């Protein structure tokens, strides 16, 4: 029986052979986020991707249940963490990057365009000189850059649209495509945040769908559908090209852009975004404590429709 959307589902997608990673997907029910472990089955070296630092927006309290769960899987499978990776500064969850770096000793990284995102949000928060992405991440990946996890090569694709600095990680026959695609029965992700662009999202998705048809595409979020009440996050390129309700083969580019923009115009901001981005653009670090020993976040008022 499939797990419902309110449970912390864990599924392993095993290596399909030489050059193919083991992938664990871990569903975070409060935000519909999927966190990933990508591991070389031979060397047991691994990367952690888009792990959540749990945040309660009603009480403004943080907890570590999700990252603890990820590290339990790492321990139980005798893995060694070599990288702590994020695909973009998330709007709907707080990243666990800085804490995982401290707990594992592995460097943390994100895309090279993220400093431009930081400039946009520094203006929206009226917090000049607050965010220093080069300080808070050990590495900023350029489009086309490669690095190793054990004996497996991971390649970076710049995938703007959801944000201007989103990146995709491709490792063998597995790709971590974040907030571009959703599951085939749910379509694609929104593109209306500051710096987002629907036409760029279309182009990014087409580049992803040009990967080999057997590539396992691992998406960033799932919220279920009217017909499906259990979380899902992996489908192949071939499955998306045949069945994705927004971008399957034969879809017209302008029709997609119009449909996506019409849908995005009805969406409100995620309830964690204004807190999350202040932390995520610091690499998952809280602001410094003030003179009373407490930490405070700044929320812009009447800046968004």
pLDDT of 127-156, one tens digit each?
A: 999 999 999 999 999 999 999 999 999 999
The residue segments making up the domain with residue 219 are 10-279
Q: Which residues contact 104 (CB under 8 A, 6 or more apart)?
A: 48, 71, 74, 81, 84
Instruction: Answer yes or no: is 288 within a domain.
Output: no
Q: Centre a 10 Å sphere on the Cβ of residue 69 and count the other Cβ atoms it contains.
A: 17
How distant, in Å, are the alpha carbons of 25, 60, 292 from that of 63? 20, 10, 22
DSSP code of 270? P
If phi over 0 gives left and psi between -120 and 50 gives alpha, with beta otherwise, what is residue 273? alpha
Instruction: Answer yes or no: is 34 within a domain.
Output: yes
Instruction: Answer yes or no: is 294 within a domain.
Output: no
Q: Centre a 10 Å sphere on the Cβ of residue 44 and count the other Cβ atoms it contains.
A: 14
Q: How confident is the model at residue 3, as a pLDDT? A: 61
In the chain, the largest separation of any two C-alpha atoms, in whole Å, equals: 60
- Supply the CATH number for residue 103's domain: 3.60.15.10
Instruction: Answer yes or no: is 286 within a domain.
Output: no
171: Cα separation from own chain's centroid = 16
Instruction: Answer yes or no: is 302 within a domain.
Output: no
Q: How confident is the model at residue 44, as a pLDDT? A: 98
Instruction: Answer yes or no: is 58 within a domain.
Output: yes
In degrees and rounded to multiples of 5, residue 185 shows phi and psi of: -80, 0
Instruction: Answer yes or no: is 16 within a domain.
Output: yes
Q: How confident is the model at residue 163, as a pLDDT? A: 97
CB 277 within 8 A of CB 89: yes
Q: In what order do the strands lie in the sheet with 146-149?
A: 146-149, 152-158, 167-171, 174-178, 216-219, 234-236
pLDDT of 192-209, one tens digit each?
A: 999 999 999 999 999 999
Cα–Cα dist 158/78, whole Å: 31
Cα–Cα dist 32/8, whole Å: 10
How many domains would you assign to the chain? 1
- Regions of the chain where pLDDT drops below 50: 1-2
289: Cα separation from own chain's centroid = 28
CB 9 within 8 A of CB 3: yes
CB 36 within 8 A of CB 174: no
Cα–Cα dist 29/33, whole Å: 7
Instruction: Answer yes or no: is 295 within a domain.
Output: no
């Amino acid at each position: 029986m499939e797990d419902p959307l309110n449970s912390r589902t864990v599924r392993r997608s095993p290596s399909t052979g030489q050059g193919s990673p083991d992938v664990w997907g871990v569903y975070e029910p409060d935000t519909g986020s999927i966190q990933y472990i990508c591991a070389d089955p031979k060397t047991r070296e691994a990367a952690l991707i888009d792990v959540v630092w749990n945040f309660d927006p009603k009480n403004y309290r943080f907890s570590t249940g999700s990252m603890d769960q990820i590290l339990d899987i790492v321990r139980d499978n005798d893995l060694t963490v070599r990288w702590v990776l994020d695909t973009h500064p998330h709007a709907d969850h707080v990243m666990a990057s800085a804490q995982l770096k401290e707990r594992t000793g592995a460097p943390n990284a994100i895309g090279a365009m993220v400093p431009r995102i930081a400039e946009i949000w520094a203006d929206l928060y009226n917090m000049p000189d607050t965010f220093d992405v080069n300080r808070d991440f050990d590495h900023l990946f350029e489009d086309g850059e490669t690095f190793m996890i054990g004996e497996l090569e991971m390649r970076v694709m710049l995938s703007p649209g959801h944000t201007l600095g989103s990146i995709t990680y491709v490792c063998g026959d597995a790709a971590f495509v974040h907030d571009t695609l959703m599951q085939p029965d749910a379509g694609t992700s929104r593109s209306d945040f500051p710096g987002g662009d629907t036409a760029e999202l279309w182009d990014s998705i087409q580049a992803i769908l040009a990967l080999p048809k057997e590539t396992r595409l691992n998406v960033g979020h799932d919220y279920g559908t009217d017909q499906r009440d259990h979380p899902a996050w992996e489908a192949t390129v071939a499955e998306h090209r045949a069945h994705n309700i927004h971008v399957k083969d034969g879809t017209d580019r302008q029709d997609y852009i119009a449909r996506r923009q019409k849908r995005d115009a009805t969406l409100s901001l995620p309830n964690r975004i204004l807190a999350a981005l202040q932390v995520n653009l610091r690499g998952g670090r809280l602001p410094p404590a003030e003179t009373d020993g407490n930490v405070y976040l700044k929320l812009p008022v009447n800046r968004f429709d």
